[in-house]
């Protein structure tokens, strides 16, 4: 905890950047007007703040059809919330989280009819339970895996048992992946460099938001929102005149 400002959090980016900071979670439209903002300590994950910003924006602008997200917001719950609202989530490619030399998660295919998972060697992993994180757990038969030629690429378990987790809302991630490959999904994500990324760049370089002289979450939040309001007013003035 910071002794200078207890409200901030330890922010990590990459292997070398570690600092006490605040994080701004911002939503904007295709013309780079800021529609919503929420400020949190730097150690709060992006996905936990999404609901508040999203609900605020769609309440004021219900005509929104496509929601373009950063990789940090690509979670089953967020995709489900957007799709159930009748909108399309536009998400980036996310590298599969697997060890080097091991099979990728998508190579373990879920069979919805039999509620099981089929491994790359066409062996069945049986459903065991659904854990508190909302993931279905599937486990293989150790007696079969022990003599499998793919064992070294499949699991490092000493008990020779492979465990695969599939989220109960995994199909919403799949729907988001399908939209990512569509022309509308590609076009909307390409706008990020011209919109939200430009907003953050301008805020840091032109509006002195790389660092703050204020302490306390409330003061910093008011300072950030005032800066964003000024950015919107400047853009509006340039458009009008």
The whole-number pLDDT of residue 19 equals: 86
| pLDDT, average across residues 130-134 | 90
User: What crossing angle do the helices spanning 183-190 and 170-180 adopt, rounded to 10°?
Assistant: 80
Looking at the DSSP bridge assignments, the partners of residue 10 are 20
Q: Distance between CA 99 and CA 213 in Å, rounded? A: 42
Does the CA dihedral 100-101-103-104 come out positive or negative?
Answer: positive
The whole-number pLDDT of residue 12 equals: 83
Structure tokens at 70: 């950063």
Q: Distance between CA 227 and CA 241 in Å, rounded? A: 21
What single-letter DSSP state applies at residue 229? H
Query: What would you report as the CA-atom Rg of the chain, rounded to the nearest whole angstrom?
Result: 22
Confidence of residue 72 (pLDDT cuts 50, 70, 90): confident
Whether residue 197 has pLDDT greater than 80: yes
Domain ranges of the chain: 9-93+172-240, 105-169
Q: Does the structural domain 9-93+172-240 have CATH classification 3.30.420?
A: yes
Q: Which helix (H) or strand (E) holds 213?
A: none
31 by Cβ neighbours in 10 Å (0-12 / 13-18 / 19+) ranks as exposed
Whether residue 241 has pLDDT greater than 80: no
Q: Distance between CA 224 and CA 136 in Å, rounded? A: 41
Structure tokens at 33: 């007007």
């Amino acid at each position: 905890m910071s002794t200078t400002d207890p409200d901030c959090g330890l922010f990590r980016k990459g292997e070398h950047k570690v600092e006490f900071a605040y994080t701004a979670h911002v939503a904007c439209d295709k013309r780079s007007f800021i529609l919503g903002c929420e400020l949190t300590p730097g150690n709060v994950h992006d996905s936990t703040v999404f609901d508040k910003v999203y609900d605020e924006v769609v309440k004021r602008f219900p005509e929104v059809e496509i929601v373009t997200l950063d990789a940090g917001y690509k979670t089953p719950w967020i995709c489900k919330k957007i799709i159930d609202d009748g909108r399309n989530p536009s998400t980036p490619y996310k590298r599969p989280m697997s060890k080097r030399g091991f099979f990728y998660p998508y190579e373990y295919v879920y069979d919805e009819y039999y509620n099981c998972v089929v491994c790359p060697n066409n062996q069945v992993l049986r459903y065991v339970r659904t854990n508190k994180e909302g993931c279905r757990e599937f486990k293989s038969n150790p007696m079969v895996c022990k003599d499998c030629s793919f064992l070294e690429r499949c699991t490092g378990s000493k008990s020779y048992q492979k465990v695969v987790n599939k989220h109960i809302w995994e199909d919403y991630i799949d729907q988001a992946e399908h939209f990512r490959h569509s022309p509308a999904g590609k076009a909307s994500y390409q706008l990020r460099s011209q919109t939200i990324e430009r907003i953050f760049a301008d805020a840091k370089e032109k509006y002195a938001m790389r660092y703050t002289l204020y302490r306390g979450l409330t003061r910093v939040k008011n300072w950030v929102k005032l800066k964003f309001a000024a950015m919107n007013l400047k853009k509006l003035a340039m458009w009008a005149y």
